[in-house]
Structure 1
Amino acid sequence: MLQIPRWQTALIVLVLLIGVAFASPNLISRQATDNIPDWLPNQQINLGLDLQGGSYLLLEVQTEAVIEEQLDNLVDEIRVQLRGERIGYRNLGVEDGAATFTLRDPTQAATVEELISDIGGQLQVSVGEDGKASVRYADTAVQERISNAVQQSIEIIRRRIDETGVREPTIQRQGERRVVVQLPGIDNPERMKEILGKTARLTFRLVDEDVSPQSSRIPPGSEVLPSDDETPEGTPQRRHVVRKRVMVSGENLTDAQPTFQQGQPVVSFSFDTVGAKRFADVTKNNVNHAFAIVLDGKVISAPVIREPILGGNGVISGNFTVQGANDLALLLRAGALPAPLKILEERTVGPGLGADSVRAGEFASVLALVAVIVFMAVAYGLFGILADVALVANLILIMGALSGLQATLTLPGIAGIVLTLGMAVDANVLIFERIREEAGNFRGPVSAVDAGYRRALTTIFDANITTLIAAVLLFYFGSGPVKGFAVTLAIGLVTSMFTAIMVTRLLVAGWLRRRRPQALPI
């Protein structure tokens, strides 16, 4: 047990040096780490919301809008199918969560049921004797659509936050339709709320130039949308009659960047292959007609197409500020939300509170470390001092692991570190007590130490593995502060086993080889 091969010694030293390398950037300022070459460890521990301040948002995905959109699309599909088969109907629309219409000839009910069932999408079709038809999605299809919308919303939220450069945000699903967002270190929470709150659904549609926005009769295929222009107070907002059919969707965008055109902020964009072809066809077939750019139900601009645009690139102009152009480009790059988000709860944590927590955590950690060091030195003499050296190495490895993994350190995470420092010497206590028993049975120093390490090893592994299982379960099923505690506890358990077993064994074996004592100082 005490015959340590050279490769093991080299491995132990290498692990310790790596831990020191990854932990050392935490001793300098964050600005100074920018000067460290990329091939060297240059990342510091990320502090959570409760330590460096920031914003906490509880969002709810308005999935009702997703279902409404799905039903509207279903109505359009039903209209196309019925007209294609020349089946008479009236009053087609959405009512009580279903697409409803009335057949002019009720004897066509069987044909209509078969025709609509072929649309797919887990539809439930029923036609009464009076010709009243109802088409709704099955509950499983609705729940699947809601779940997909929430998951897609989380991904879009993550993209938007990543575009802003916020370090280590926490984005978690809570319940069926809610999302928790924690943004450490942000200094402008209002801008973040504005970015996250916008659906950012961009569409390109033709303007219906045959109808005035003031007309009382709008054709079924068109709708009146307000302009996004800011108007003086008391002045009515401009409106446009826009066709409902989407000619090109923002889903076909591949890039969007803020730029300037004639000294004004604009957003340039480019389409993928499919979008570029559609955009080219639309502009080629509608020269000298107005083309509306619609964002979240408002017309940003409605320029007249002067010539075909064949390159798949374009520019969105409007009354943009520089910040507005940047934000719009960010939203378009990240993609549109499948449904609007509603802010249910908002909290702002000041950095002063976080600084106090960090100082308190540092004081508790140092106090715990000093107390454990003193106890081990008093209780086990030289062997206790060797265990103290391993304890300091353990703390360095924990800091290095948190920096290297870019884990977020929270206030409960500091509690996990303090707990780990107290538990770290448990393995050494078991080993040293076992060595005392063996020495009391008149074994020689080398034999007693060898037996102490060998017989205590199973107990140490069992105790730490059961605690590690608990930490993994806390991380998997927990959220927020619970996860922060589980992360540091799990990392601390792994590093503690390494330092208590490998590092102290290396130090004790080296001391025995050099001193060759007749009795153990324990």
Structure 2
Amino acid sequence: MQNKGLIRLFAILFGIVSIYQLSFTFIINKIEGEAEDFAINKISSDEDNYVAKREVEEASYLDSIGNQTVYNIGVASFTYNEAKEKELNKGLDLKGGINVILQISVKDILKGLANNSKDPVFNKALDEASEAAKNSQDTYLDLFFEKFSEVSAGSTKLASPDIFANKALSNDINFQMTDEEARPVIRRKVDESITSAFEVLRKRIDKFGVTQPNIQRLGTSGRILVELPGAKDIDRVKSLLQSTAQLEFWETFKADQILPYLVSADEILKGIVDAETVASEPVQEETEIDSLLSDISTDSLDVAQSNPLLSLMVQPGFQGSPVIATFALKDTAEVNGYLKMPQVVQARPAELKTAKLVWGKPAKDSELVELYALKSNREGIPPLSGSVITDASQSYDLGNRPSVSMQMDGKGARIWEELTGKAFREQGNIAIVLDDIVYSAPGVSSGPISGGNSEISGNFTLNEAIDLANVLRAGKLPASADIISSEVVGPSLGHEAINSGMMSFLIAMIIVLVWMIFYYGKAGIFSDIALSFNILLIFGVLAGLGAVLTLPGIAGIVLTIGMAVDANVIIYERIKEEVLKGKGKKQAIDDGFKNALSSILDANITTGLTALILLVFGTGPIQGFATTLLIGIITSLFTAIFVTRLLIEWYVEKKGRSLDFYTGATKNLFKNVNIDFLSKRKVAYIISGIALVISLGSLFSLGLNQGVDFVGGRSYQIRFEHPVNPSEIDAELDAVFGSTEVKTFGGPNQVKVTTKYKVDEEATEVDQEIQQKLYESLLKYLPEGTTYEQFLGGSEDAKIGILQSIKVGPTIADDIKKNAVWAILGSLAIVFMYILLRFTKWQFSLGAVAAVFHDVIIVLGIFSLTYKFMPFNMEIDQAFIAAILTVIGYSLNDTVIIFDRIREVINEKGWSAGNNVNFALNSTLGRTLNTSMTTLVVLITIFIFGGESLRGFMFAMIIGIGVGTYSSLFIATPVMYDTLKKSVTSGKKKEE
């Protein structure tokens, strides 16, 4: 081997850099462990909201040392913040946290661009596009253009003055433009708004305090991926991401101006609401008005308890108060329904026609909420909006409660002075409204406020005030952001995943290391050294690139171990062949490495191509799997081809010792094997044909157990203290949600609950409603005294409750399914082309792809046949697609190595009626079985010790590896042989 010195230097430097990169991870883990202990010691678990309080204390501790030097290495020193940026990132499944995909509402953007046009054609097109989007893969904007053309039928243009040819877009769109000319401009404006939303979200997340967040746009559809590993307060995160930060300042009506109308509305409702809920005795209207306006206690409302609206009122607002009345939080939806009824709206007096009734922000843990009335106008435009805010910061009000201070620009300061001056003169109030919720409605007692300074107060927690200040600084979203897909992993589950993942990794590693020594003796020791070095390099590269390590990523690393072993096995088997030819050890080693190189490269390139497909089409953990697999392919090639050779040549040349590539137990294994594989191909065709028919029959009749990834819905992994009966829980939850699926997931005290309840509704309130209903329904199965917060599983010491939740909207579920199909087809197409280019004969490509189709159908068939009774999760989700693509890669790996040997033998010895094909198959049999058995042992180890979330994933790969090994020998090669034989026979006849 040439340039040994350079390779040795590169290997040493590569190793040193990897150790250097990983050293930051060890330092950070130590420091964060100390911060966690500090928070636990300071905040007892007996305190209310202890999880959030511990999170604040932990963050405070880390903030306090952020700029302190915590690591010295040589002449370099690093602060905590600098070291944190260099640590190995852990994904959600290892650290806990939240992963969401947000859909920026293109409908809202279009409304904004059209200046909230009331044009009936425009609005009908928006509504029809929204409906079509539920069952279409097209973007909302494309659907809008299509529906607009259908609805308008040429009568209305996009560039109409009432739609997009408005004053705001006058520089870009004029009324003379055709629809074809206006569409690109609208498309560009929509994209600019989505980019703006992306930047707003990025600024918010940067200020949130979560380390190593990930935010990225997904294509051009308006979707944004946000990953926040380590985030524990999930409701806070969701609020931060979805808040549009639509800040507005409004003048308010007073209670005595609105309450008479509510009494009138109540009278109207008596004639509308069902007779069973209407009181038989009428209430004297005059008495009601007098009592409401005199600010007497709620006892005076006893006479109105049977009235539809007034009976829901807990307390009326006192005279002169901006609070109209107080209601129970649970009754707000019913009150809204009453107040929006056409008959009730029409009964408004003239001065209240444009009034805007909105709710206040309830105090934490309060069951009551206040109703306000804002002085609006026909256009619904506030006197002052949040666009004038130039800065915001968390502060404290006069009562030492958390609040938010704001500074306005010059224009805003002038309007604010006018607004506060008017409120002072008229003894009025100004409501500070954020996203249609009144946070406070203070009066002005000391004259107009100049300078543009203002403050928002109103039942804030410290975190809420901090988040609101950050949101206001970042700016408002140009449109609403709906969470269409989310995955929440509790920290306790992440902690368990690390333990199970590392345990499976170490056990698999030990088994492989011992096996290599058992099979190859001293040569196996050199492989083990190279293999260990390979693992160091993988983790070092992951840390250096800032990549994210996930549980499937650990599985990818373990699979890489199998591939590294495969490369060493190919090399050692070739060296043994060269020795049998009578060559000296040095020459045999040289030729063995040289002859093995082609097979190793072909095998790794085909696997690398499937990993690239995963990287392109996958998301989250699947990308983590693909990333580690790609890195592992590169490092294993380097260590197997160069590092192993350096060690072997050092031992043989420098030490002058003999090196055998076998032990006493394995010396004669596969030595004189002579199996006539081709003669058995017809039997194999029949067996495979039967298996394919059964598999396809099951797929068409029984189908597959599709997870929420593919059908949409919500799923929750819930753990109890004692074993539970899933059928019993299923029956109880069916009564609450209409339809649920409850299965044992892992141990008998753990279940997975899946429901499609309100699957089309993306609001955070729906998530909270479902969680609350789950808590109330399952409370009797939980230990006595379990709180709702404990049930949500917010800390690592939370051993019961919700460990993981996943939500996937139906639209994105369709997209995931489509991407999965494209991933599989794309992988097959790319590999077909590679093999065609590499082997120059289409028969080789046909054989390889036929084997792959065979493997995929049988794996799917086995899942279809067995998912109903297997004791572990066998859902078809993104992880399963990763397993299928890995099986494709492995099967092709195996097939390519066999084909490579067949091509080599045929080039040397000719066709010979298939005898040389059999010879090639027998010569690679040792490698095929050795590698397959090693890989299977590794996968079975992960299957047993790697945790429940990986079990179905591993099962698919175990079946795939077994079937793939069989198909390489009995499907791929026979199909290639039968089609190529015709070509060879036809060629000979032409020559004759």
Question: What TM-score does the superposition give when structure 1 sets the normalisation length?
Answer: 0.74
Which structure 2 segments of 5+ residues have no match?
Answer: 33-64, 72-76, 127-154, 262-347, 424-429, 662-992
Corresponding residue of 1:201: 246
Helix, strand or coil at the partner of 2:421: coil
The range that moved more, 432-441 or 26-35, is 26-35
1:360 aligns with one of 489, 500, 507: 500
One-letter code aligned to 1:160: R
The answer to which structure has the higher strand fraction is 1
- Return closer, same or farther for 1:356/1:223 CA change in 2, 3 Å cut-off: same
Give CA-to-partner distance per residue, 1:284-316, whole Å, 9 cap, x none.
666723476442234544665945745x65544
Contact 1:203 1:293 (8 Å CA) reproduced: yes
2:403 to 266, 274, 280: 266
Question: Does residue 338 in structure 1 map to residue 478 in structure 2?
Answer: yes
Q: Distance in 1 between matches of 2:215 and 2:539?
A: 24
Describe the superposition over 1:349-395 as per-residue Cα deviations: whole angstroms up to 9, x where unpaired: 34444444333322332232223222322333322211110100111
CA distance in 2, matches of 1:67, 1:404: 42
* Match of residue 166 from structure 1: 210
Please say if residues 2 and 450 of structure 1, whose CA atoms lie closer than 8 Å, have aligned partners that are also in contact: no
Contact 1:21 1:41 in 2 (8 A): no
1:495 aligns with 2:629: no
- Structure 1 residue aligned with 2:237, among 192, 210, 218? 192
Does residue 256 of the first structure (1) align with residue 392 of the second (2)?
yes
TM-aligned CA deviation for residue 182 of structure 1 = 5.0
**Paired AA for residue 193 in structure 1:** K
Residue identity in the other structure for 2:208: T
Contact in 1 for aligned 2:388/2:412 (Cα 8 Å)? no
1:409 is aligned to: 549
Aligned-residue offset at 1:3: 4.7
Residue 95 to residue 392, structure 1, CA distance change in 2 (3 Å):
closer
C-alpha distance in 1 between matches for 2:173 and 2:349: 35
1:177-188 correspondence runs (5 A): 181-188=226-233
Q: Deviations over 1:464-495 (max 9, x none)?
A: 23322322221122113321210111111122
Q: Does 1:449 align with 2:589?
A: yes
- What RMSD in Å do the two structures reach over aligned CA positions? 4.5
CA deviation profile, 1:101-145 (whole Å, cap 9, x unmatched):
xxxxxxxx9xxx99778645787979xxxxxxxx99966666666
CA contact (8 A) 1:225 1:299 kept: no
| Aligned amino acid, residue 204 of structure 2 | R
For the structure 1 residues 255 and 458, does the alpha-carbon distance in structure 2 shift closer, same or farther, using more than 3 Å as the test?
farther
Give the whole-Å Cα distance in 1 for the aligned partners of 2:646 and 2:384: 68
Q: Distance in 2 between matches of 1:480 and 1:66?
A: 28
Take 2:196 and 2:175, find their aligned partners in 1: how far apart are those partners? 29
Matches of 2:161 and 2:221, distance apart in 1: 34
Alignment of 1:164-313 (within 5 A): 164-169=208-213, 173=218, 176=221, 181-203=226-248, 216-217=349-350, 224=356, 226=358, 228=360, 237-242=371-376, 244-245=380-381, 249-251=385-387, 253-262=389-398, 263-270=400-407, 276-283=409-416, 288-290=421-423, 293-300=432-439, 301=441, 304=444, 306=447, 309-310=450-451
Q: Deviations over 1:43-65 (max 9, x none)?
A: 54333233333445565544433
| Aligned counterpart, 2:78 | 38
Q: Which residue of 2 aligns with 1:434?
A: 574
Distance 2:411 2:642 in 1: 66
1:387 paired residue among 524, 527, 534 = 527
**Structure 2 equivalent of residue 18 of structure 1:** 17
- Segments of 5+ residues of structure 1 without an aligned counterpart are 79-91, 99-108, 127-134
Does structure 2 retain, via aligned residues, the 8 Å contact 1:227–1:240?
Answer: no
**What letter corresponds to residue 288 of structure 1 in structure 2?**
G
From 108, 112, 124, give the equivalent of 1:96: 124
Distance 1:149 1:216, change over 3 A: farther
Q: CA deviation at 1:258?
A: 0.3
Greater displacement, 496-505 / 62-71 = 62-71
Aligned length: 478
Letter in 1 for 2:642: M
SS of the residue corresponding to residue 259 of structure 1 reads: strand
**How far apart are residue 183 of structure 1 and its match?**
4.2
One-letter code aligned to 2:518: V
Q: Which amino acid in the other structure matches residue 38 of structure 1?
A: F
Instruction: Indicate the percent of aligned positions where both proteins have the same amino acid.
Output: 34
Match of 1:267, SS state, is: strand
Letter in 1 for 2:411: R
CA contact (8 A) 1:376 1:387 kept: yes
Change (3 A) 1:7 1:206: farther
Using structure 2 for the length normalisation, give the TM-score: 0.42
Q: Secondary structure at the match of 2:115?
A: helix
Tell me how far apart the structure 1 counterparts of residues 411 and 192 of structure 2 sit (CA, whole Å): 27
Give 1:77-96 correspondences, 5 Å limit: 96=124
Provide the C-alpha distance between the structure 1 equivalents of 2:590 and 2:578, rounded to a whole number of angstroms. 9
Q: State how far apart, in whole Å, the 2-side matches of 1:136 and 1:455 are.
A: 61
- The residue that corresponds to 1:424 in the other structure is 564
Task: Tell me how far apart the structure 2 counterparts of residues 508 and 469 of structure 1 sit (CA, whole Å).
Answer: 31
Question: Retained in 2: the 8 A contact 1:60–1:341?
Answer: yes
SS at match of 1:278: helix
2:235 partner amino acid:
E
Deviates more, 1:222-231 or 1:328-337: 222-231
- Look up the SS of the partner of 2:371 in the other structure: coil
Distance 1:93 1:208 in 2: 36
